[in-house]
A and B are shown apart, each in its own frame.
Chain A
Amino acid sequence: MSNLEVSHKTNSIQQIRYVCAIAAMHSASAIPGVIPIVHCGPGCADKQFMNLAFYNGFQGGGYGGGAVVPSTNSRELDVVFGGENRLRELIKASIKILDADLFVVLTGCISDLVGDDVGSIVREFQDQGISIVYAETGGFKGNNFTGHELVTRAIIDQYVGDYDGPKEQGSVNVWSLLPYHNTFWRGDLTEIKRILEGIGLNVNILFGQESKGVAEWKDIPKAQFNLVLSPWLGLQTAKHLEDKYEQPFLHVPIIPIGGKETSAFLRKVAHFAELDIAKAEAFIRQEEKQYYHYLEGFSDFYAEYWWGLPAKFAVIGDSGYNLALTKFLVNQLGIIPGKQIITENPPEEYREAIRKQYQTIAEDVFTDVEFEEDSYAIHQKIRQTNFGHKPPILFGTTWERDLAKELKGAIVEVGFPASYEVVLSRSYVGYRGALTLLEKIYTTTVGASA
């Protein structure tokens, strides 16, 4: 009989933390006026929507998204004979009854396995002047982070197209959080746009209600530069834009949370974009004044509260929020990092750079990070962590609710899936988001105290 001990990493993923590439239908519907069309089995759209956008902050489907996006709902016939005619028919009907500025066709496992020539079908419509693009996003090809860059690239190459006109000084394309997967992306992108405009930039935020939709995407080639504000997501897009439009890019791996980090971020951007520094500094001063006013009030609580506050933390989540939160918790609040686990399976080539960020998280604080996708293994790692003399606070997901109870600690659901959070415009980044995050963290701990 074989040895049943499982100590090594296996293929199994228990309690998923990312989904598949076709979930990038959400990257399409995150752009105002854009509607995805999915060419896949009957359950795919529902699965991606209900899990990524419903039981994750209850964000909702918006104008062009939801479980009911146009779908071929492939059947056995489409598997045996191919689904090309069915797709053509659906695209025609979608154009007829739906009011969209742009359609994005995404394929699933069935189409990619039987080898439907989706490209040539979509080109039939493109040739007639229809605004439509396609991306092959079969579930086995990668996760929703991969899918996001595929959809982004599809829109750029097939819709935005070539450009050799002049650039507009002081305008930027922002590539940052993954829409819908990050539970707070709407509020966060709003705050990111607000602070970048504050220092004098024209901002193409591209996703979310602050975006001007496809018109803004058409402006992508005119921007002075691209800003990649995430540990790695968006880098492929930025490199592609560098080749395609000769646009330089600035990569800032840490999404800023709190006064210190946000001001440093804005100075870096202002310098890179050669903005009017005096104007940028005036904005920073104004923002810091407000931020530290509230922080001063908070300090009474932070210094005098009797009943104990958590001293050590763990973060379990994708690298974007994981790094941003760790930076904030260590440097703004002085909480001690216990364990950081990155869960979205970042491409191998970016991992060393991410690790370095943790090793230099503060001048006097060194920490490490692990990469793990399977929640069974993740929870074992957390259980084996020494959090010292009192229970930790976990920044994680719904999967950690019971683990937090087991450790007698607190849980703040900050990422996918956050099934016990209702999120509308809430943001945890920048100046304003940091204050909301403080409210959330300490309402959680104080609220559970008696």
Chain B
Amino acid sequence: MKINLKTPVVESREQRLGTIIAWDGKASDLSKESAYARGNCENTCGDKARRLCEMEGPFTQGSVCSEQMVECQAGHVRNAVLIQHSPIGCGAGQVIYNSIYRNGLALRNLPVENQHVICTNLLEEDMVYGGAAKLEQSIRDAWERNHPKVIFIATSCATGIIGDDVDGIASQMEGELKIPVIPLHCEGFKSKHWSTGFDATQHGIVRQIVRKRPKKQEDLVNVINLWGSDIFTPMLAELDLRVNYVIDLATVEELEQLSEAAATVGFCYTLSSYMAAALEQEFGVPEIKAPQPYGFAGTDAWLRELARVTNREEKAEAYIAREHARIAPRLAELRELLKGKKGYVATGSAYAHGLIAVLRELGVEVDGSLVFHHDPVYDSQDPRQDSLVHLVDNYGDVPFFSVSNRQQHQFYGLLKRVNPDFILIRHNGLAPLASRMGIPAAPLGDEHHSLGYQGIINLGESILDILAHKKFHQDLAAHTKLPYKQWWLDQKDPFVLAKESKPGNKEEHSYV
């Protein structure tokens, strides 16, 4: 499966990987049905996407779109400007992503500033006559105001439908301004899952920013991450390696040298899959093919593989031994303190696999978890990256494992099935419901919080903190009403609507 960098439009997750957004069962069954284990693709999907059975129900709640992921990646490159070619509503995202950008910069000890994002503010007449002139004007404004090293353009549902020639304008302006002007095709309706937006950004960066004739830097490691605290620098320094953090908070220069690194790693294969595979395919930068660095098993294997690829094996073994010994005393205490506690993970896909592993290292029971989507394979197709199988093989099955794309109405039943003491989340939308059910949530804003050896300790400490919040949530639960009808809250199967609406199984309900 080759990544196609020839066209400016990225192939969506579902086209490349067979991504699904609704599924319910045992984690072990999902891993068996996924491509790594099975490999026998249905004839409808060629040599690309794998086919998994997916449920589709009539009731859906607001999700997230690809353009938002472009905003929070391309919009966070420090000396670039992102242009949102859209009506003003898409520009709403400037608020949240500015706040995240500022706090991310502060967390990383970088100078705090507002992000550089401009909306072309398309109006009704532009829907009729096209928005090309406005896009061109905004590109000029971006140049005049910020003199950026790169200008990114995010498309929108509206421009996708009216068919503005964004690629043509980008290439014309690139010629004029002599900097990369990069169209990122991320119309919300084009993919059922927003993680395609990660891929759209990475596609544009690999095509138009990354240095085509790299001078190799044998001690440089690309770390594909978000805004997390700087835990990789000290960790990789143990192996005499330097860190190149991308994409958020990076400079254009840091993106240019992606092709020069000795290896690429990430904190989550959902995020890093596309670019890591593309860098290996195009420039021979090896992607570390190992379990993700969560829990002892994952972190040990990940460090060993990184050390092997960068020829630093002895240093890694010494570090691994030291870290095991260092965290052992507090880990023993945490395991004692967390004995009998039940946790539930509700995050992005590969990240959840890692977090469940850490919870089980801490002795926390995990009977259920949900992921927003599931990729049957990642772009490398290498089974050493099968994060779900790694979880099931090393830490046991998860009996109630669901794929639910932030569908809060299902979350109620999912939590009732397993009655956790707390949940781990990153994305908004689910915790408010848990809160009203009396269940506290640990929002993992710093995505590196649970990573590596220290991450096991960090997560344990955070869980103790949020278990104390239970008082707040239980008090609230006693005084609020949920917007769902009792009939729905009494349903045992959170996927019942999807099952009823299968073709040929449609049952009309009276709703008056």
Interface residues of B in 47-93 (CB under 8 A from A): 57-68, 86-93
Interface residue B46 (Cβ < 8 Å from any Cβ of A)? no
Among candidates A13, A21, A75, A398, residue contacting B121 with C-beta atoms closer than 8 Å: A13
How far is the CB of A115 from the nearest CB of chain B, in Å? 11
Q: How large is the interface on A (under 10, 10 to 19, 20 to 34, 35 or more residues)?
A: 35 or more
- Which residue, of A55, A140, A402, has the highest number of chain B Cβ atoms within 10 A? A140
Q: Would B189 and A79 count as touching, CB distance under 8 A?
A: yes
How far is the CB of A28 from the nearest CB of chain B, in Å? 13
Interface residue A286 (Cβ < 8 Å from any Cβ of B)? no
Which residues on the B side are within 8 Å of A42 (C-beta)?
A: 62-65, 188-189, 192, 194
Q: Would A43 and B176 count as touching, CB distance under 8 A?
A: no
- Which residue, of B64, B95, B142, has the highest number of chain A Cβ atoms within 10 A? B95
Q: Which residue of A lies closest to B116 (CB)?
A: A14
How far is the CB of A337 from the nearest CB of chain B, in Å? 25
Known A-B contacts A16-B92, A89-B58; the reply to A98 vs B483 at CB < 8 A is yes
Which residues on the A side are within 8 Å of B485 (C-beta)?
A: 96-99
Known A-B contacts A76-B190, A110-B161; the reply to A140 vs B124 at CB < 8 A is yes
Interface residue B478 (Cβ < 8 Å from any Cβ of A)? no
Which residues on the B side are within 8 Å of A35 (C-beta)?
A: 483
Q: Would A43 and B68 count as touching, CB distance under 8 A?
A: yes
Residue interface bits B469-503, CB-to-A below 8 A is 1, else 0: 00000000000010111011000000001000000
- Which residue, of B91, B122, B409, B509, has the highest number of chain A Cβ atoms within 10 A? B91
User: Please, how many angstroms separate the alpha-carbon atoms of A374 and B407 in the complex?
Assistant: 36
How far is the CB of A52 from the nearest CB of chain B, in Å? 7
Interface residue A388 (Cβ < 8 Å from any Cβ of B)? no
Give the contact stretch, choosing among B132-140, B449-457, B459-467. B132-140
Q: Would A139 and B158 count as touching, CB distance under 8 A?
A: yes
Q: Would A69 and B89 count as touching, CB distance under 8 A?
A: no
Known A-B contacts A12-B137, A56-B95, A99-B483; the reply to A78 vs B189 at CB < 8 A is yes
Interface residue A11 (Cβ < 8 Å from any Cβ of B)? yes
Interface residue B219 (Cβ < 8 Å from any Cβ of A)? no
Residue interface bits B90-114, CB-to-A below 8 A is 1, else 0: 1111111011000000000000111
Which residues on the A side are within 8 Å of B86 (C-beta)?
A: 139
Q: Would A70 and B59 count as touching, CB distance under 8 A?
A: yes
Q: Would B114 and A20 count as touching, CB distance under 8 A?
A: no
Interface residue A10 (Cβ < 8 Å from any Cβ of B)? yes
Which residues on the B side are within 8 Å of A92 (C-beta)?
A: 58, 509, 511
Which residues on the A side are within 8 Å of B432 (C-beta)?
A: 60-61, 66
Give the contact stretch, choosing among A1-9, A247-255, A363-371. A1-9
User: Please, how many angstroms separate the alpha-carbon atoms of A99 and B65 in the complex?
Assistant: 27
Q: Would A14 and B145 count as touching, CB distance under 8 A?
A: yes
Q: Would B511 and A73 count as touching, CB distance under 8 A?
A: no
Interface residue A130 (Cβ < 8 Å from any Cβ of B)? yes
- Which residue, of A19, A46, A89, A93, has the highest number of chain B Cβ atoms within 10 A? A46
Known A-B contacts A16-B94, A92-B58; the reply to A113 vs B429 at CB < 8 A is no
Interface residue B141 (Cβ < 8 Å from any Cβ of A)? yes
Interface residue B126 (Cβ < 8 Å from any Cβ of A)? yes
Interface residue A114 (Cβ < 8 Å from any Cβ of B)? yes
User: Please, how many angstroms separate the alpha-carbon atoms of A99 and B160 in the complex?
Assistant: 36
Among candidates B99, B122, B187, residue contacting A140 with C-beta atoms closer than 8 Å: B122
Q: Would A46 and B429 count as touching, CB distance under 8 A?
A: yes
Interface residue B157 (Cβ < 8 Å from any Cβ of A)? yes
User: Please, how many angstroms separate the alpha-carbon atoms of A10 and B145 in the complex?
Assistant: 12
Known A-B contacts A43-B67, A97-B485; the reply to A13 vs B60 at CB < 8 A is no
Which residues on the B side are within 8 Å of A11 (C-beta)?
A: 120-121, 134, 137-138
Interface residue A399 (Cβ < 8 Å from any Cβ of B)? yes
How far is the CB of B188 from the nearest CB of chain A, in Å? 4
How far is the CB of B446 from the nearest CB of chain A, in Å? 18
Q: Would A69 and B58 count as touching, CB distance under 8 A?
A: no
Q: Would A23 and B429 count as touching, CB distance under 8 A?
A: no
Q: Would A23 and B118 count as touching, CB distance under 8 A?
A: no
How far is the CB of A391 from the nearest CB of chain B, in Å? 19
User: Please, how many angstroms separate the alpha-carbon atoms of A81 and B422 in the complex?
Assistant: 43
Interface residue B237 (Cβ < 8 Å from any Cβ of A)? no
Interface residue A423 (Cβ < 8 Å from any Cβ of B)? no
Known A-B contacts A12-B141, A97-B487, A140-B122; the reply to A51 vs B92 at CB < 8 A is yes
Which residues on the B side are within 8 Å of A16 (C-beta)?
A: 88, 91-92, 94-95, 119
Residue interface bits A55-96, CB-to-B below 8 A is 1, else 0: 110001101101111111111101100000000011011111
Q: Which residue of B lies closest to A14 (CB)?
A: B118
How far is the CB of B123 from the nearest CB of chain A, in Å? 6
How far is the CB of A414 from the nearest CB of chain B, in Å? 15
Known A-B contacts A12-B138, A41-B65, A109-B87; the reply to A95 vs B511 at CB < 8 A is yes
Q: Would B96 and A55 count as touching, CB distance under 8 A?
A: yes
Interface residues of B in 375-416 (CB under 8 A from A): 406-409
How far is the CB of A384 from the nearest CB of chain B, in Å? 16
Known A-B contacts A46-B429, A47-B93, A67-B429; the reply to A128 vs B512 at CB < 8 A is yes
Q: Would A130 and B512 count as touching, CB distance under 8 A?
A: yes
Interface residue A376 (Cβ < 8 Å from any Cβ of B)? yes
Which residues on the B side are within 8 Å of A98 (C-beta)?
A: 483-485, 488
Which residues on the A side are within 8 Å of B153 (C-beta)?
A: none
Interface residue B7 (Cβ < 8 Å from any Cβ of A)? no
Q: Would B511 and A398 count as touching, CB distance under 8 A?
A: no
Known A-B contacts A114-B161, A139-B88; the reply to A54 vs B63 at CB < 8 A is no
Interface residue B127 (Cβ < 8 Å from any Cβ of A)? yes
Q: Would B429 and A68 count as touching, CB distance under 8 A?
A: yes
User: Please, how many angstroms separate the alpha-carbon atoms of A398 and B94 in the complex?
Assistant: 11
Which residues on the B side are within 8 Å of A14 (C-beta)?
A: 116-119, 141, 145
Q: Which residue of B lies closest to A36 (CB)?
A: B62
Which residues on the A side are within 8 Å of B406 (C-beta)?
A: 67-68
Q: Would A12 and B118 count as touching, CB distance under 8 A?
A: yes
Interface residue A396 (Cβ < 8 Å from any Cβ of B)? no
Q: Would A43 and B65 count as touching, CB distance under 8 A?
A: yes
User: Please, how many angstroms separate the alpha-carbon atoms of A44 and B64 in the complex?
Assistant: 8
With A16-B95, A43-B64, A45-B62 given, name 11 new contacts (CB 8 A): A2-B140, A10-B141, A11-B138, A15-B117, A16-B92, A35-B483, A74-B157, A96-B509, A114-B161, A140-B87, A140-B124
Q: List 20 A-B contacts (CB under 8 A).
A: A4-B143, A5-B144, A10-B137, A13-B119, A14-B117, A16-B95, A22-B89, A42-B188, A44-B65, A45-B62, A47-B65, A47-B68, A70-B60, A93-B497, A96-B511, A97-B484, A140-B127, A402-B112, A417-B95, A417-B98
Leading 9 A-B pairs by shortest Cβ distance: A43-B65, A20-B89, A45-B62, A139-B89, A41-B188, A139-B87, A93-B59, A51-B95, A42-B63
